[in-house]
Structure 1
Amino acid sequence: MTSRVKTSIPNIIINGNPLESQSTRLGSGFVYDAEGRIITNNHVVDGAKTVDVTFVDGNIYSAKVVGTDAFSDIAVLQMTDDFSKEHLTALLLGNSSQLQVGQQVIAIGNPFGLSDTMTTGIVSQLGRLLPNQEMGFSIPNAIQTDAAINPGNSGGPLLDIHGNVLGVNTAIKSNTGEFSGIGFAIPSSTVTRIVPHLIQEGKYDHAWLGISGASLTPDLAEQLGLPRDFKGVAIASVTPGGPADKAGMIGATKSNVPAGDVITAINGHAVKRIEDVIFYIEEQTAVGDNVVITVNRGASHKTLLQPCSQGRFLLCRRARVLPPRRPR
């Protein structure tokens, strides 16, 4: 399996301004199809002027960025030099929805410029929320793994033992910037949903409610006059003119309102934490869909109908989730 898949996992080299320090960035990727399309991370190629892809046989090809999505951290490259389709082997996308905690996984990439490096580990947990507080959004449903991921691994595949792609390695959580046993990958289900749009349109339109909020804790519930064991998502703020605002949702920051709405259900699905909202909107809705939001407002429950428009659910900073460091 190893020798077969390594031919499909190129190193990604981004050449910047030669007068600037650290102008060259390194990453990884994998062949998506025989047309010369390669999947990598958006943060690897963000702002790139020139992209080179180097395969294990030593062949180097120029590539251009044809589609990016910062909200899922996925990008698609198109090889522009002449290449032989017969020599390109696309990796198969596995079904990440069937993953189980404890399942063995393999990461292959270009850490520290050491090409074709393979590490192994297990799936440590599923359904992680991967926050990026610098940009104000979160990537849902990330795979957590202890397979070593280091700078240069970003964009490379997380594989099962059969060589199928389960995810795209994208980030680590560390206090030092080096791997400390906690890595994250974007699941293949997200790749399957988003990449065709990146190829055809160069972008992907995400549904958006226009709210920020945080999961209720016992103390927060008590402050809002609710039972300490009450579950839901407290709305901290509502984007003016956004879908939630038009539907009449109230945030805690609105004048003369001591507390904002608390979301308890979406389309009849119970909401117990902020991840439930983000996962449902991202994976079960599309731009233009109507969703029924059930909220607790004071002593009563209200049902609001609102459309999802283009944009993203914003993660409230008071959720106190530290952003993981991204390996380059």
Structure 2
Amino acid sequence: MKNNPAVRFLVIPLLLVLLGCSLVTAPQTAQETPVPATATPPPASLSADAIEALVDAAVNERLAQLERTPVAYTAPTVIETDLEATLTALYARANPAVVYIIVSSGGVANSSGSGFVYTHGGYIVTNSHVVSDGSTFEIVFYNGDRAMAKLIGADPDSDLAVLKVDSLPEGIEPLPVTQTDTLQVGQFVVAIGNPFGEQGSMTLGIVSGLGRSLQSQRSLMGSSTYSLPEVVQTDAPINPGNSGGPLLNLNGEVVGVNAAIASVTGTSSGVGFSIPAAAVRRVVPSLISDGRYVYPYMGVSFDGEITLAEQELYGLPQIQGAYVVAVTAGGPGDKAGIIAADPNTGRGGDLIIALDDQPINSFDDLNSFLSFHASPGQTIAVKVLRGNETVTLSLTLGARP
């Protein structure tokens, strides 16, 4: 047998037993008579070969015993963690307010999605793209009850829509929408919806990114270039059929409305996107009262992201800001005196660095300000870098066409 220090270490207690040694000795009493040193001759010392032979024999015998002994199965111990208890309680509380939406046109069901009860009055929030191809909408509640819903309003730029049923089944409580925007990357979230028509499915994940943007549904159809800012990214599995369902924090508050996934297969790839609660708070009440939401409008187009190469090309003093590449003739920006870049050289455009004293470090910052902190008809102060000069302009916002 080859030398194996690990094996030798493991079998030392065996070897001690085989050699007649004791690992634990009984305490001697005071009356014990000592044995004369000459009573027993010292044992003959063992050679290295003899010790190795004894070790080999002990190991082989133990291995043979293990091979003959069946392994006893021990059932795993299930430990209920605080997270597990939180999730089960959250599902029991939130799932009754999540609905399955069957979308039909001409009497034929052509798609489905999810939604959630927003008020006791029967208003249901979902995605604009869920209802865009339908004329009739059937709501299936968690307990199997069904009702027809009316489309109240839809906003393709935020991908939000509101349906309404005449009454709710007993016991359904609307889901609260968080009133704060304090999400952090790493925070636990759950998605509840109907992926592939599997009603009442819940998945768990984390907030994996913040400050993303999604193209407007109108942009996807080629009729605009608008995008929604502050979109929440999550790795909670989201699949077809989850659209319109809530993304919840562990307090059971809606922090987003599940809308899209980044995927080459059409199924979850671990990158899902949810419309932020800030958009729900701002857009949904307007959809309920007016059937539509009107965004503020500057009449200005921007370079989405300024790279270091573009900074040098355009001769900009810094990369922080929103660079103006076009101004709509007669629009609010034009009336305020905002200057666009030369279409041939890309130079000479204003670099917006603040709106109403709020720093603008990128186009996303500007888009967030307009989407969540401004309204049509409002006059704002626009601070721009024009060459090496700082200029402040007064601009009255219009309504987005």
Q: TM-score range by the shorter chain?
A: 0.7 to 0.9
Gaps of at least 5 residues in structure 2 are: 1-89
The aligned residue for residue 60 of structure 1 is 146
The CA deviation string for residues 234-269 of structure 1, in whole angstroms up to 9 with x for no partner, is 112112221111111122256898432211221222
Worse overlay, 251-260 or 162-171: 251-260
The aligned residue for residue 232 of structure 1 is 321
Asked if the contact 2:106/2:135 (under 8 Å) is kept, the reply is no
Pairwise CA RMSD: 2.0
- Is 1:201 aligned to 2:290, yes or no? yes
In 2, Cα distance between the equivalents of 1:85 and 1:111? 23
- Is 1:297 aligned to 2:383, yes or no? no
Q: Of 30, 37, 52, which aligns to 2:123? A: 37
Residue 7 of structure 1: how far off its partner (Å): 1.1
- Describe how 1:273-312 pairs up with structure 2 within 5 A: 273-311=362-400
The CA deviation string for residues 9-34 of structure 1, in whole angstroms up to 9 with x for no partner, is 01011012467xxx611110000111
Q: Percent identity?
A: 41
Asked if the contact 2:188/2:249 (under 8 Å) is kept, the reply is yes
Structure with greater Cα Rg: 2
The CA deviation string for residues 4-59 of structure 1, in whole angstroms up to 9 with x for no partner, is 2111101011012467xxx6111100001111110001111114200011012111
- Describe how 1:185-264 pairs up with structure 2 within 5 A: 185-214=274-303, 215-227=305-317, 229-252=318-341, 258-264=347-353
Structure 1 residues 17 and 231, CA gap change in structure 2 (3 angstroms):
same
Task: State the TM-score, normalizing by the size of structure 2.
Answer: 0.72
In 1, Cα distance between the equivalents of 2:185 and 2:161? 27
Structure 1 residues 230 and 37, CA gap change in structure 2 (3 angstroms):
closer
Structure 1 residues 18 and 37, CA gap change in structure 2 (3 angstroms):
closer
In 2, Cα distance between the equivalents of 1:258 and 1:173? 35
In 2, Cα distance between the equivalents of 1:231 and 1:203? 34
- Is 1:3 aligned to 2:100, yes or no? no
Asked if the contact 2:211/2:229 (under 8 Å) is kept, the reply is yes
In 2, Cα distance between the equivalents of 1:149 and 1:44? 15
The CA deviation string for residues 48-97 of structure 1, in whole angstroms up to 9 with x for no partner, is 200011012111110011111112111110114xx356343211112351
Asked if the contact 1:36/1:85 (under 8 Å) is kept, the reply is no
Structure 1 residues 307 and 158, CA gap change in structure 2 (3 angstroms):
same
- Is 1:269 aligned to 2:358, yes or no? yes
In 2, Cα distance between the equivalents of 1:234 and 1:183? 29
In 2, Cα distance between the equivalents of 1:67 and 1:230? 39
The aligned residue for residue 173 of structure 2 is 89
In 2, Cα distance between the equivalents of 1:299 and 1:35? 56
Residue 298 of structure 1: how far off its partner (Å): 2.8
Give SS of 1:150's match. coil
Give SS of 1:250's match. coil
Asked if the contact 2:325/2:346 (under 8 Å) is kept, the reply is no
Q: Which amino acid aligns with 2:197?
A: G
In 2, Cα distance between the equivalents of 1:218 and 1:119? 41
The CA deviation string for residues 129-169 of structure 1, in whole angstroms up to 9 with x for no partner, is 22344241111111111101111111000011232211111
Asked if the contact 1:96/1:187 (under 8 Å) is kept, the reply is no
Q: How many matched pairs?
A: 306
Tell which has more relative contact order, 1 or 2 (C-alpha 8 A, sep 6+): 1
The aligned residue for residue 74 of structure 2 is none
